[in-house]
């Protein structure tokens, strides 16, 4: 194959750059498979013809709001268009029915207020500037007018803004399908308030993001024949269990641990908690506090959100007892026992945390200790109990903590679902899938199989109508 016909000497092109990813330049000469380019920063680059892409010299200075209008829909062209719009504070761009969102890393309340919702309500797709509300509106209008059930897929790398995008989608759908002037807890209020509850127990600070969802979530919002929200169901996937026991600077563990350590004195005293820095599962990272997150205030906000979604005070007490117990379990350490490959509780401090954990979990302290330092092997003939060395006991401790926390999270989700309730008579629904770590869909098919299973209903369309990246 020869050099592409649209790239000749004098052509303006894009070539790869180790710092900028792509840089523009002008072709000086072409010989066989080699293209020699003078880049805009004054360097001369020789590269393979397959790595040279034409630059659109007629592209508008402010970019285009739908990239299907680009002359060249290749990687450097797409990135240049997104960068150009980003510099103009335009964070949304369409590619057909797909919406690409670039995280602004700042609050932009004017983009998501009630006035903006009203603007997009019922507007034709593409009539207004690209926006996440437009995606939700299309899904809602097709459901109402054409009887199509739709799903909105929110995908992207950590820090891309998936969590906030999902919340905005749900807010807009609640705006369209909500009941104005209704007192008490409504379904739409419970759906929205499920977000801060799940974030408290499933989100954490990561390298790229102060509020990163460490689990996948599919929210099925059901509507009655008038288009009002009548029920909902939340399904979660792939909670990052390892984070419970192991973190590195500058990341944090799940928010709820820090919220609880910053709770009012009567609460921390009841759970026998100290400063977050005193717990092994938290102090492995030097990051304890996060700018913009007031852990004490968030603890109270989480409690209020729990009230709204239907988790009563007794259940809240049980939840935070378990959270505190996990912290205490992490502070149980072991020393070598008298027998070979055996271990014992290391010291009085570890004994205190063992006793406290058993109190909070309402289990027998001796049985908890035995479960940590021994292992039972079941054979057809008998049950064999073997002792564990200190290293194995630590692994057993961490496995217990991860299992307890994972089951707590699942219980919270199920409790929210029971409280909100599903509408068995609903024949109209919109799903919102927020999933992390699934940038390669050729490899990661699991979520899609599960997603489609949710739509095995006579009236369902089994389609992913819109995508937000």
Q: Pick the catalytic residue: 126, 337, 421, 437?
A: 437
442 is in an annotated binding site: no
Instruction: Clarify whether 419 is annotated catalytic.
Output: no
159 is in an annotated binding site: yes
Q: Pick the catalytic residue: 209, 333, 396, 417?
A: 209
Bridge partners, residue 236, by sequence: 217
Tokens of 159: 């820090």
Instruction: Clarify whether 3 is annotated catalytic.
Output: no
Bridge partners, residue 15, by sequence: 23, 52
Instruction: Clarify whether 343 is annotated catalytic.
Output: no
Tokens of 216: 């996948």
Q: Pick the catalytic residue: 97, 103, 159, 387?
A: 159
Following DSSP, what letter does each residue of 225-279 receive, concatenated?
TTS-EEEEEEEEE---GGGGT---TT---BHHHHHHHTS-HHHHHHTT---GGG-
Instruction: Clarify whether 159 is annotated catalytic.
Output: yes
158 is in an annotated binding site: yes
Tokens of 435: 């999933």
Tokens of 72: 């060249």
**Residue 97 exposed, middle or buried by CB count within 10 Å (0-12, 13-18, 19+):** middle
Identify the DSSP state of 296. H
Instruction: Clarify whether 310 is annotated catalytic.
Output: no
Question: For residue 29, how many other CB atoms are within 10 A of its CB?
Answer: 11
Instruction: Clarify whether 158 is annotated catalytic.
Output: yes
Distance CA 437, CA 216 (A): 9
Task: Catalogue the long-range contacts made by 110-118 (C-beta closer than 8 Å, 24 or more residues apart).
Answer: 112/168, 112/171, 114/175, 117/171, 117/172, 117/175
358 is in an annotated binding site: no
Distance CA 386, CA 373 (A): 9
Helices (H), 19-161: 75-87, 114-120, 132-146
Task: List C-alpha distances in Å: 8 to 240, 446, 469.
Answer: 51, 46, 35
Instruction: Clarify whether 2 is annotated catalytic.
Output: no
63 is in an annotated binding site: no
160 is in an annotated binding site: yes
**Residue 108 exposed, middle or buried by CB count within 10 Å (0-12, 13-18, 19+):** exposed
Task: List C-alpha distances in Å: 455 to 148, 234, 352, 458, 459.
Answer: 12, 14, 50, 9, 9
227 is in an annotated binding site: no
Instruction: Clarify whether 163 is annotated catalytic.
Output: yes
**Residue 66 exposed, middle or buried by CB count within 10 Å (0-12, 13-18, 19+):** middle
> Does an H or E element contain 359, and which?
helix 348-361
Q: Which has the closest alpha carbon to 304: 200, 168, 447?
A: 200
Following DSSP, what letter does each residue of 311-358 receive, concatenated?
--HHHHHHHHHHHHHHHHHHT--EEE-SSTT-EEE-SHHHHHHHHHHH
Q: Pick the catalytic residue: 47, 158, 211, 268?
A: 158
Distance CA 322, CA 415 (A): 16
Q: Which has the closest alpha carbon to 229: 197, 169, 184, 189?
A: 189
Q: Pick the catalytic residue: 163, 166, 333, 392?
A: 163
Question: Which residues are known to be catalytic?
Answer: 158-159, 163, 209, 212-213, 437, 439
Task: Specify binding-site residues.
Answer: 156-163
Residues making up the binding site for ATP: 156-163
């Amino acid at each position: 194959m020869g050099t592409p016909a649209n790239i000749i000497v004098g052509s303006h092109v894009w070539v790869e750059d180790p710092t900028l990813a792509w840089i523009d330049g002008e072709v000086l000469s072409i010989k066989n498979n080699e293209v020699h380019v003078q880049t805009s920063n004054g360097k001369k680059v020789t590269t393979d013809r397959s790595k040279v892409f034409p630059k659109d010299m007629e592209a508008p200075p402010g970019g285009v709001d739908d990239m299907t209008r680009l002359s060249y829909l290749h990687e450097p062209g797409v990135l240049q268009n997104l960068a150009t719009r980003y510099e103009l504070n335009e964070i949304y761009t369409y590619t057909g029915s797909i919406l690409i969102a670039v995280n602004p890393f700042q609050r932009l309340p004017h983009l998501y207020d009630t006035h903006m919702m009203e603007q997009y309500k019922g507007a034709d797709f593409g009539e207004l500037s690209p926006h996440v509300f437009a995606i939700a509106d299309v899904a809602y209008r097709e459901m109402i007018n054409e009887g199509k059930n739709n799903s909105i897929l929110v995908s992207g790398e950590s820090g891309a803004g998936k969590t906030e995008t999902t919340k905005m989608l749900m807010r807009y759908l609640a705006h369209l399908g909500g009941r104005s002037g209704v007192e008490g807890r409504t379904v739409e209020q419970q759906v929205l308030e499920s977000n801060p509850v799940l974030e408290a127990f499933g989100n954490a600070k990561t390298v790229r993001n102060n509020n990163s969802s460490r689990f996948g979530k599919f929210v099925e919002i059901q509507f009655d024949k008038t288009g009002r929200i009548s029920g909902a169901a939340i399904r979660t996937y792939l909670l990052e269990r390892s984070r419970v026991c192991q973190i590195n600077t500058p990341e944090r563990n799940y928010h709820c641990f820090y919220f609880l350590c910053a709770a009012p004195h009567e609460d921390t005293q009841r759970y026998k908690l100290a400063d977050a820095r005193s717990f092994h599962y938290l102090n492995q990272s030097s990051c304890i506090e996060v700018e913009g997150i007031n852990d004490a205030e968030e603890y109270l906000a989480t409690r209020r959100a729990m009230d709204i979604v239907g988790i009563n005070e007794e259940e809240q007490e049980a939840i935070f007892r378990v959270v505190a117990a996990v912290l205490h379990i992490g502070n149980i350490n072991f020393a070598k026992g008298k027998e070979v490959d055996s271990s014992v509780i290391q010291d009085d401090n570890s004994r205190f945390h063992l006793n406290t954990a058993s109190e909070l979990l309402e289990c027998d302290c001796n049985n908890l200790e035995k479960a940590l330092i021994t292992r039972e092997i079941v054979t057809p003939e008998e049950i064999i109990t073997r002792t564990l060395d200190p290293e194995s006991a630590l692994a057993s401790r961490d496995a217990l903590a991860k299992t307890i926390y994972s089951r707590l999270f699942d219980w919270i989700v199920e409790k929210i679902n029971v409280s909100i309730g599903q509408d068995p008579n609903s024949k109209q629904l919109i799903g919102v899938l927020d999933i992390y770590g699934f940038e390669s869909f050729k490899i990661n098919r699991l979520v899609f199989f599960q997603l489609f299973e949710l739509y095995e209903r006579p009236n369902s369309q089994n389609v992913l109508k819109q995508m937000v990246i």
